Amino acid sequence: MIQTATAENATAQRLFEKLKGVAVGTSGPYTWERCVELAPLVDEINRLKHEKNAVILTHYYVHPEITVGVGDFVGDSYKLAKDAKSTNASIIVFAAVKFMAETAKCLNPDKEVLVPSKQNGCSLADAITAERVRELRREFPEHTFVCYINTSAAVKAVCDVCVTSSNVYDIVQRIPSDKIYFLPDKLMGENVQDEMKRRGVQKDVQIFSATCYVHQQYDPERVLRLRGKYPGLKVLSHPECSPDVIRHADHVASTKGMMQYLRDTDAEAYLLLTECGLAGRAQVEMPGKTFIGPCVECRYMKSNAMQDILRVLRAPDEDDRIVLSDDVREGALRCINAMFHYAEMSG
């Protein structure tokens, strides 16, 4: 009993050390009392991970207590797909959104992949079905179908190549076809069209009509207002933002790319035009830096809670498990492997 109390205290201290300066959206501010409250959950999850040979993959957008307390890996969707590919664990708990967990399952058919999030959607992934893609393929028979990773495995299974925000421009450029159909993100698709022009690449890029409800909320007026208020501000944007917003950014990158830019630069303040969990993670890793601006949260990413991670590790329900038919898994894997092939090509 005394030993447990001491261990919990050490965990609370470890959490508080990392989280004490963090206060974004519904995450934080983290008080000492909150860290003491989280400590037994964190200890039990870490014990169960060890006992069951499980790993926890976490996206930057989830609550920082999860990435700091129990996450084994944190990253953007490309890094997490690679982490899922290389793990030796028997169980993968994916604290993010369902399409990322499905990708992990495609790469690990024999492992148990569990999702603790209560709201499993994504406004991009939910906007298109495999049936709709089949119709589009009949309409655009000569086009190579490129899908953003923010799609279901069923949609990937009927596309040719998958991309993430970290490799979309290079992959579209490298695909040996001058006719591309990009889905489902309209704004990212428009950014692809602009970037191909900028690179002098001649391709007909057709695009679907969905948007991310988080990233579409940013507008150029707000960026200009904040630039006026904070001289020396560096503006970082995710490629899911509109081209009008991206034109005002100092740097455009995936969440992992934005983190790297923050580490590599020294500015008076930063504005991160993405889901505000990234600012939380940046505060954890770079407590000396200043992050300003609006905090838009993704309800899907934020539906991951520590209690649910514990629950799925202890006794998962059927709904917590990723199950894919062989057809869908094999089709989606072909599309995901095509991404690894083009992403790892040099030049």
Interface contacts to ligand SF4, rule CB under 6 A: 97, 122-124, 150, 212-214, 240, 275, 298, 300-301
Smallest separation (angstroms) from ligand SF4 to the CB of 121:
7
Detail the DSSP E strand segments found in the chain: 54-59, 73-75, 91-95, 112-114, 144-148, 161-163, 179-183, 204-207, 233-237, 251-252, 269-273, 291-292
Angle between helices 32-52 and 306-314 (to 10 degrees): 20
- Contact mark string toward ligand 13P, 121..160, x via CB under 6 A: -----------------------------x----------
Question: Tokens 């997490």 identify what position?
Answer: 80
274 DSSP 8-state letter: S
Residues numbered 314-333 forming contacts with ligand 13P, rule: CB under 6 A: none
N-terminal to C-terminal alpha carbon distance within the chain: 59
Cβ 79 to ligand SF4 shortest distance, Å: 15
- Please tell me whether residue 185 binds ligand 13P under the rule CB under 6 A: no
Which among ligand SF4, ligand 13P, none contacts residue 123 (Cβ within 5 to 8 A by kind)?
ligand SF4
Least separation in angstroms between CB 106 and ligand 13P? 17
Binding partner at 300 among ligand SF4, ligand 13P, none, C-beta below 5 to 8 Å by kind = ligand SF4
Q: How far is the CB of 178 from ligand 13P (least distance, A)?
A: 26
What angle do the packed helices 98-107 and 77-86 form, to 10 degrees?
30
Q: 77 touches which of ligand 13P, ligand SF4, none (CB within 5 to 8 A by kind)?
A: ligand 13P
**Can you read off the two tokens belonging to residue 33?**
């009392």
- The single residue among 240, 270, 276, 329 that binds ligand 13P, judged by CB under 6 A, is 240
The 8-class DSSP code of residue 45 comes to H
For residue 184, cis peptide bond before it (omega within 30 degrees of 0): yes
Taking the least distance from each CB to ligand SF4, the nearer of 91 and 212 is 212
Which phi and psi (to 5°) does residue 17 adopt? -55, -40
**Using an 8 Å Cβ cutoff, are 114 and 93 in contact?**
yes
Which of ligand 13P, ligand SF4, none does residue 255 bind to, with CB < 5 to 8 Å depending on kind? ligand 13P
Residue 239 carries which side chain, given as an amino acid letter? P
* Binding of ligand 13P by 45 (CB under 6 A): no
192 binds, among ligand SF4, ligand 13P, none (CB under 5 to 8 A by kind): none
Instruction: Enter the tokens of residue 190.
Output: 């428009």
Q: Please report whether residue 108 would count as binding ligand 13P according to CB under 6 A.
A: no
Which of 97, 14, 19, 94 has its CA nearest to residue 64? 19
Compute how many other C-beta atoms are within 10 angstroms of the C-beta atom of residue 224: 12
Tell me: does residue 254 bind ligand 13P (CB under 6 A): yes
Q: What are phi and psi of 146, to 5 degrees?
A: -110, 120
Residue 261 and residue 251 in contact, taking contact as beta carbons nearer than 8 Å: yes
**What is the total count of residues that contact ligand 13P (CB under 6 A)?**
11
Q: Please state the closest distance from residue 294 (CB atom) to ligand SF4, in A.
A: 14
Binding residues (CB under 6 A) for ligand 13P: these are 76-77, 150, 164-165, 212, 238, 240, 254-255, 275
